[in-house]
Structure 1
Amino acid sequence: MATVGAGRARILAGLAAIAAGTVAAMAAAGALLPQLLDAPAEPPRPGAGYVNPAADGTCTLGFLAEDPAGRRGFLTAGHCGSVGDAALVPGRLGGWTRIGEFTFAAGGSQWADELDLGFIALDDPAGGEPGIADPAGPGEAGAAPGRVLAPAELAARRPRLCFTGQRSGRSCGPMTALVGREGSDVAFAAAAIRGDSGSPVYLERPGRAPAAVGLLSGVSEEGPALSFAELLAGPAAAAAGFRVVLG
């Protein structure tokens, strides 16, 4: 089993993709809108972007899920926020509107040899959709995942994996190895950039619903372009008790 060294680092919340203070200023402007009168311009869904004004950064929503208490929300990368941070998306009125807040966040370190998992509990439990965003058609969604793949299945098949990120869109490449703690992460040959953190990683299955695999966590710092995902069925993530909403 491959291990991860200093060549792997987290995609740190999109801070380099925006001017300093831009997100905070935009979020502050959005906060002036009466949120009771506003709503997301598009239903939040896996692969869509969000702003965390507390971190002055952007990340991507992962799979729609339920926490151990049954609250519905979105999984994402834990390094994208801290418990209590709000998640904002574009609103219908032209500003930014809140969809929920982090109620779980593990993985604040720059280095990725630890659990990297977050959960944004939705203010409106009916406000999220499970279908993965279609980067070719804004506002459109593909199929919701039909199942979650176990690490053993990935190790046996070494399939081609894809992610959908708010900045890169859809990107795919062959799996290269299980890595991290007890094979809790997967590496695959696809390029990601800042702002893609938290993206849903999945296996496309022609004629069937995609299979959920994990959440985009980091990229290689040297050598061939590799992306790394926290496995949903990995030992640490599974112990957190979240359940992906299936189609």
Structure 2
Amino acid sequence: MLALAAGCGEPATVVPAHPRDFISLPDSDGGDPVAFRWSSNGAVGPGLTIADAAQPGENDCTIGWPVVSSSGRRGYLSAGHCAGGLGRDTWVYTDGDRRGRVLLGPYVEHEDDTLADGTMFDAAAAFLPGTRRSVRWGTAIGVGHPIAGTLTPQEVSGLAPGTPLCMLGARSGITCGPLMHADDRYLEWGGYAVTGDSGSAVFAVNPDESVCAVGILHDGPTDRDNTIAYVEPALRKWHLTLPRETGPVSGDRC
């Protein structure tokens, strides 16, 4: 959104939108979930189903935020409660029959707990195998939504109720809904999500449709009443960073 301001006889001045002027995206899949989302081209990226070798097909969740470790390894976050344990392989399906798959690395970080300060922590990290350079590491959130930065729990708790937030789930696709409640421990969100969307990236959308990372889908008592764990505590604890796009959205826009 752009505001125009001009005096009589003066040229209009474009005032950039404040980064807290978050917008919603078209809610194309909300209310009509698919069985699971698979990779048709062998690429891996946010919003696809991630399977845990401990319970494939039963414990499927969603690939959430792409991350880079302090040593440069590339991987993804999902929800901690999706991990059957550390050291078990994970994979992405490459067909609708669950027969083809692209192997990822095992979960090497995993926590589903409440920290001493009351913060909800629900995250797991898996990284691409070092010997599988052919695996394409996708980082965009959906089509045309690069990551612009991260919002801290304190920043999210300062947003007004009703602020639109969106999710990219392996069953529900992109869905958006209002921020219902937020404090510095967790937030409640009124967008649509179902079982299998756990681990999904939850984000705020800038007017240029780049996204600000907010959290990881945890659970919810109903399809439109969901609890979100913040992503920033996991990034900080495990020394991870989110990849940033270069060009018009370079730098932290959040």
Same fold (TM over 0.5): yes
Residue number in structure 1 paired with 2:111: 106
Instruction: Give the Cα–Cα distance (whole angstroms) in 1 for the partners of residues 166 and 145 of structure 2.
Output: 14
- Distance in 1 (alpha carbons) for counterparts of 2:205 and 2:236: 22
Give how far 1:185 is off: 1.8
Residue aligned with 1:213, SS: strand
For residues 172 and 40 of structure 1, the distance between their equivalents in structure 2, rounded to whole angstroms, comes to: 25
2:50 corresponds in structure 1 to 50
Partner of 2:249: none
The residue that corresponds to 2:138 in the other structure is: 129
Tell me how far 1:237 sits from its aligned partner: 5.3
Q: CA deviation at 1:231?
A: 0.9
Residue of structure 1 in register with 2:76 after alignment:
74
Moved over 4 A (4+): none
1:79 partner SS: helix
CA RMSD in angstroms comes to 2.9
1:165 aligns with 2:174: no
1:245 to 223, 243, 246: 243
Task: Quickly say closer, same or farther: Cα 1:170–1:116, change in 2 above 3 A.
Answer: same
SS of the counterpart of 1:115? strand
Q: Is the 8 A contact 2:82 2:198 kept in 1?
A: yes
Unaligned runs of 5+ in 1: 1-16, 24-38, 134-140
Correspondence for 1:119? 125
Describe the shift of the 1:240–1:178 C-alpha distance in structure 2 as closer, same or farther (beyond 3 A).
farther
User: Shift in Å at residue 83 of structure 1?
Assistant: 1.1
Whether the 8 Å CA contact 1:77–1:118 is kept in 2: the answer is yes
Q: In the aligned structure 2, how far is the partner of 1:191 from the partner of 1:208? A: 20
Q: Deviations over 1:14-59 (max 9, x none)?
A: xxx98xxxx9xxxxxxxxxxxxxxx973311111112113123211
What is the letter of the counterpart of residue 81 of structure 2?
H
Alpha-carbon distance in structure 2 between the residues aligned to 1:172 and 1:108: 26
**Cα distance change of structure 1 residues 237 and 185 upon mapping to structure 2, 3 Å threshold:** farther
Rounded Cα–Cα distance in structure 1 between residues aligned with 2:182 and 2:243: 24
Amino acid at match of 1:178: A
How big is the shift at 1:225?
2.9
How many residue pairs are counted as aligned between the two chains? 197
State how 1:176-195 maps to structure 2 within 5 Å. Answer: 176-179=180-183, 183-195=184-196
Once residues 154 and 91 of structure 1 are traced to their aligned partners in structure 2, the CA distance between those partners, rounded to angstroms, is 36
Partner Cα separation in structure 1 for residue 113 and residue 86 of structure 2: 11
Structure 1: distance between partners of 2:176 and 2:190: 7
1:40/1:131 Cα in 2 relative to 1: closer, same or farther (>3 Å)? same
List aligned pairs for 1:19-98, cutoff 5 A: 41-56=41-56, 57-81=59-83, 82-91=85-94, 95-98=100-103
3-state SS of 1:191 partner: coil
- Distance of aligned partners of 1:118 and 1:203 in 2 relative to their CA distance in 1, 3 Å threshold: same
Q: Deviations over 1:202-227 (max 9, x none)?
A: 11112241111111111125xx8311
Distance in 1 separating the partners of 2:156 and 2:120: 20
Secondary structure at the aligned position of 1:153 is classed as: helix
Bigger Rg, which one: 2
Structure with greater helix percent: 1
2:29 aligned partner: none
**TM-fit CA distance, 1:149:** 1.0
CA separation of 1:230/1:237 partners in 2, compared to 1, >3 Å: closer, same or farther? farther
Q: Percent identity?
A: 24
Shift in Å at residue 153 of structure 1? 2.1
- Give the drift of 1:97: 2.6
Cα 1:58/1:108, change in 2 over 3 Å: farther
- Report if aligned partners of 1:79, 1:108 keep a CA contact under 8 Å in 2: no
Q: Are the structure 2 counterparts of residues 80 and 240 from structure 1 closer, same or farther at C-alpha, using a change threshold of 3 Å? A: same
